[in-house]
Structure 1
Amino acid sequence: MMHNNENKHGLQPSLKPRHLNMIALGGVIGAGLFVGSGVVIKATGPAAILSFLITGLLVVLVMRMLGEMAAAMPGSGSFYDYARAAWQDRPALGQLAGFLTGWMYWYFWVIVVALEAVAGANLVRYWLPDWPSWAISLGLLLSLTLSNLISVKSFGEFEFWFSSIKVGAIVAFLLLGSLYVLGLWPGHGMHFTNLTAHGGFAPHGLMPILSGAVAATGFYFGAEIITIAAAESAEPQKAIARATQSVITRVLIFYVGSILLVVCLLPWNSKGISTPYVSALEMMGIPAAAQIMNAVVLIAVLSALNSGLYAASRIMFALTRRGDAPQGLARLNRHGVPVRAILFATLFGYAAIVMSYLSPDTVFAFLVDSYGTVAIFVYLLIAISQLRLRRQLEKDAPERLRIRMWAFPYLSYLAIAGMLGILVAMAFIPEQRSPLLLGVISLAILLGCYQLRQLWRRGKPDSALAAELAD
């Protein structure tokens, strides 16, 4: 008999509602918002608001689809399992969809782990310029690896506080920025002229708005972690429902709202737009703005590093259960933590960090340029899976549809069309062609790995998930 403090996969439901609430809230607030948004604003002008809105709405639709599937089939592995279930009538396609979804998601997060460790070192050197970057990167990765290895509750506590600081910082910025822009700041009137004063709202035309939407895609990735983390909580369906319902508010307020304030406070073509939030705080006269934002961005980086290790290890654990990864990586310790899956992710992270210093223009550049496109592939597979799985559930188990996708199937089709549109747009945007090509190469490599896996398994059909759906 299964012990009451474990789920059916051996993972322990140790994450509390407060952990999940902050993971959901903080999941969409990454270093990309605080730093990368300046690149989009500089290329697009004030119309960057529309770029983030377009991509944000796509993320909202994907999260709603994930919420529907996660509430119907709560369990470790999340959308990796859903991709398989969606094609249970065609087992070969189900195995392929699951394999690609799981490994692409793992690939995305282990690259994020390396990127954030490198970025974190650069931020720490703001205060400790004499320390070597490689040593700081190593220290950051080791510290958060240990927190993940101890227990899932340890991960949850770290992420609770990281997310609390991120959410607190962005809420404070929204409050202060709104007071300034609305003319409620002492000695200042309303501040909307920057929206049109420097060449108009969209100074470079329509195409940069679309290219900005493409660039912003990677900034939002991470919202879906809640559907994985919920499997290690006592009430996964309730947590997923709450996160799904609040994602619209989080996207609109945290991203679109803060970008609106930035372009109101700063001229889009000013030098300070490269560090938008620091410059905005300095413009408002906030003391020690650079120090404050450097600390906040460091917290955002550590949060992404922490979440990346968690997400990569849990998706790897799910891959082992379906024979898509070596079974030896599935071993859990007495706290229900997949230790080997975590260590495997960190090994890749260490290798990528080494490449960032030894081969920054070749191997590391390939990893950096390919992972964003891979993220779009994952979201696209999630959307296609939901489209098929929803129809299967309506036919076989309609009572499981506790959360439903809005205006099905039309908004599902719209989300798929939107993501295909992003991929097509990348082919016509010069700076996005390389990431698209490298993402396709990464996909081709995974397809080759799948063929090798099939040869090794002799193409045995996988009906395990179909049986689970029938339970």
Structure 2
Amino acid sequence: MAAPAATRPPHPPQHPPAEPATPAEHSLKPQLASRHLTMLALGGVIGAGLFVGSGQGLALAGPAVLVSYLVAALIALAIMRMLGELAAALPVSGSFSVYADKALGPWAGFTTGWLYWWITSIAIAVEAMAAAGIVHQWIPGLPNWVAALAFMALFTGLNTLSVKMFGEAEFWFASLKVAAVIAFIALGAAALFGWLPGTPSPGTAHLTGHGGFAPHGTGGILAALLAVIFAFGGMEVIAMAAAESADPALAVSRAVRSAIWRIALFYIGSVAVLAALLPWTAAEPGRSPYPLVLERLGIPAAGTVTEAVILVALLSALNANLYGTSRMLHSLALRRDAPAALAPVSSKGAPRRAVLASAALGFLCIPLEAVRPGAVLPVLAEAMGGAMLFMWLTVAASHLVLRRRLERTEPERLVLRTPGFPGITLAVIVVLVAVIAAMALDPSARGQILGSGLLAGALAAVGHLRRRTA
């Protein structure tokens, strides 16, 4: 889908570099087109969190999961707008880590950068194993760990070639996911209007029956919010990709404006179809509700079709996360917060050493998980859940500081402005703190938030110590 045209300022200001000049052998190459960034914004959010996580949300809140997704979407899209504004003004590969450094201090940049690198490196291994599990169902003779290592090797190799190769791969992955969601919404709408032969429309029976719209009350809506908000993780990669586009201000502005309404439409639209066509009592946590709906609509091989879409979503996430975590490591190396040996890039603009170092954790975790299933990845993944909220909180706090600073010193950089500033930024900060507090009080989510908090605290202590001894 083509992104809507963005209006270029009549006389674009010539901005100085957002970061100090770096040696040519350390500089990333501007090889990503506007269409790549647009699909990165869409594809980074539409993933297994939607296709699988929606089942847990529906089971927790019933049809009122729509409210949970709406609140989560508003938070996430506000964060995307803030990131887009800063990325257009200050296009750097370290993205929110650099913004935290500039706004809150070097310790904050160190903490945020390494927190993102750690949890994203773990996510890569989790996604590789999950994708391998789907392939194992199709080819039982292929061990999970072999398929997982093959996926790791494939995408590690792809990311060491050039950023253009990554951009093309992610463009087509995201296009397939978007097409799948559009097809699902179209089929669902046709069923609701009674246009599918042999499939009577349920009307509003599933939205109001089985205990009503909110069978578990506001407590269910809150529980579902805590479960589904993580589905919106992954949008951060667009801010990193801005540094590798030829015209960051224009490309990011166009991508963010386009992605915001499309993500809202795809998420809320597909979840509304789920809630309208499937009794919430049929939803199961950990199982995708999409094949259940497709089976009710008489779609042949519904389970296989859904598994194929989820496989694409997982591989897309693996690809995007490897890109994002390698760029973060490259940025940390440029700032001397990681070994300087990780800073060089190839002649085609790929930070190969940073890619290999970021993939190394996945290559290590997968054989360990194969030897002791359930003893490695689930334990490491426990600290991932809340870390995204801490990073979003840092983004909002950095936006609050940097937006005001740019308005005073370089207002011409603000080509994409977050509406309602500073009220919207302050509101997001309050809501995120409330969500973190709710997770800390929820026994089922407490482990995630405590694990993430301990990890962030340890990194902050290291960052403070480094700066004091530097």
Q: How far apart, in 2, do the equivalents of 1:166 and 1:180 lie? A: 21
TM-score (norm 1): 0.91
TM-score (norm 2): 0.91
CA contact (8 A) 2:202 2:276 kept: no
State the shift of 1:7 in Å: 8.5
CA contact (8 A) 2:322 2:355 kept: yes
Q: How far apart, in 2, do the equivalents of 1:232 and 1:7 lie? A: 14
Aligned to 1:464: none
Q: Among 388, 392, 396, which residue is 2:401 paired with?
A: 388
User: What SS does structure 2 have at the residue aligned with 1:121?
Assistant: helix
Aligned to 2:260: 248
Aligned to 1:411: 424
C-alpha distance after superposition, 1:358-396 (max 9, x if no partner): 444444223211111111111100000000111111111
User: What SS does structure 1 have at the residue aligned with 2:281?
Assistant: coil
Q: Among 210, 231, 242, which residue is 1:219 paired with?
A: 231
C-alpha distance after superposition, 1:142-178 (max 9, x if no partner): 0111111111111111111111110110010011111
Moved more, 107-116 or 363-372: 363-372
Aligned to 1:278: 291
Q: How far apart, in 1, do the equivalents of 2:56 and 2:275 lie? A: 12
Q: How far apart, in 1, do the equivalents of 2:34 and 2:414 lie? A: 22
Q: Among 273, 290, 308, which residue is 2:303 paired with?
A: 290
Q: How far apart, in 2, do the equivalents of 1:428 and 1:250 lie? A: 34
State the shift of 1:451 in Å: 4.1
Q: How far apart, in 2, do the equivalents of 1:454 and 1:281 lie? A: 56
Q: Which amino acid aligns with 1:132?
A: P
State the shift of 1:349 in Å: 1.1
Going from structure 1 to structure 2, the CA distance change for 1:193 and 1:8 (only over 3 Å counts) comes to farther
Moved more, 309-318 or 354-363: 354-363
Where does the alignment leave 5 or more consecutive residues of structure 1 unmatched? 88-93, 460-471
Q: How far apart, in 2, do the equivalents of 1:178 and 1:285 lie? A: 15
Q: How far apart, in 2, do the equivalents of 1:206 and 1:437 lie? A: 24
Q: How far apart, in 2, do the equivalents of 1:308 and 1:323 lie? A: 22
State the shift of 1:61 in Å: 0.9
Question: Within 5 A, what are the aligned runs for 1:26-41?
Answer: 26-41=43-58
Q: Among 186, 195, 218, which residue is 2:207 paired with?
A: 195
Q: How far apart, in 1, do the equivalents of 2:37 and 2:314 lie? A: 19
Moved more, 434-443 or 349-358: 349-358
Does residue 235 of structure 1 match 2:247? yes
State the shift of 1:354 in Å: 3.0
Identity %: 43
Number of residue equivalences: 447
User: What SS does structure 2 have at the residue aligned with 1:39?
Assistant: helix
Q: Which amino acid aligns with 2:66?
A: I
Aligned to 1:321: 334
Aligned to 2:191: 180
Question: Within 5 A, what are the aligned runs for 1:36-435?
Answer: 36-87=53-104, 94-187=105-198, 188-189=200-201, 191-270=203-282, 274-435=287-448
Q: How far apart, in 1, do the equivalents of 2:410 and 2:132 lie? A: 50
Going from structure 1 to structure 2, the CA distance change for 1:133 and 1:405 (only over 3 Å counts) comes to same
Q: How far apart, in 2, do the equivalents of 1:167 and 1:189 lie? A: 25
Q: How far apart, in 2, do the equivalents of 1:58 and 1:8 lie? A: 38
Q: Which amino acid aligns with 2:402?
A: L
State the shift of 1:9 in Å: 5.5
User: What SS does structure 2 have at the residue aligned with 1:304?
Assistant: helix
CA contact (8 A) 1:218 1:372 kept: yes
User: What SS does structure 2 have at the residue aligned with 1:408?
Assistant: coil
Q: Which amino acid aligns with 1:79?
A: F
C-alpha distance after superposition, 1:368-425 (max 9, x if no partner): 1111111111110000000011111111111111111111111000000111011000
Q: How far apart, in 1, do the equivalents of 2:371 and 2:54 lie? A: 28
Q: Which amino acid aligns with 2:149?
A: L
Backbone CA RMSD of aligned residues: 1.8
Q: How far apart, in 2, do the equivalents of 1:321 and 1:119 lie? A: 33
Where does the alignment leave 5 or more consecutive residues of structure 2 unmatched? 1-16, 18-22
Q: How far apart, in 1, do the equivalents of 2:42 and 2:449 lie? A: 30
State the shift of 1:17 in Å: 2.4
Going from structure 1 to structure 2, the CA distance change for 1:7 and 1:164 (only over 3 Å counts) comes to farther
Q: Which amino acid aligns with 1:229?
A: A
Q: How far apart, in 2, do the equivalents of 1:415 and 1:8 lie? A: 39
Q: Which amino acid aligns with 2:335?
A: R
State the shift of 1:132 in Å: 0.8
Q: How far apart, in 1, do the equivalents of 2:460 and 2:99 lie? A: 19
Q: Which amino acid aligns with 1:345?
A: S
Moved more, 193-202 or 301-310: 193-202
State the shift of 1:108 in Å: 2.3
Q: How far apart, in 1, do the equivalents of 2:83 and 2:25 lie? A: 21
User: What SS does structure 2 have at the residue aligned with 1:125?
Assistant: helix
Q: Which amino acid aligns with 1:278?
A: P
Q: How far apart, in 1, do the equivalents of 2:263 and 2:371 lie? A: 37
User: What SS does structure 1 have at the residue aligned with 2:416?
Assistant: coil
CA contact (8 A) 2:26 2:345 kept: no
Q: How far apart, in 1, do the equivalents of 2:400 and 2:334 lie? A: 24
C-alpha distance after superposition, 1:26-60 (max 9, x if no partner): 12101111112111111111111111111110011
User: What SS does structure 1 have at the residue aligned with 2:383?
Assistant: helix
CA contact (8 A) 1:7 1:13 kept: no
State the shift of 1:336 in Å: 1.4
Going from structure 1 to structure 2, the CA distance change for 1:77 and 1:261 (only over 3 Å counts) comes to same
Aligned to 1:10: 27
Going from structure 1 to structure 2, the CA distance change for 1:344 and 1:198 (only over 3 Å counts) comes to same
Aligned to 2:20: none
CA contact (8 A) 2:34 2:254 kept: no
CA contact (8 A) 2:76 2:232 kept: yes
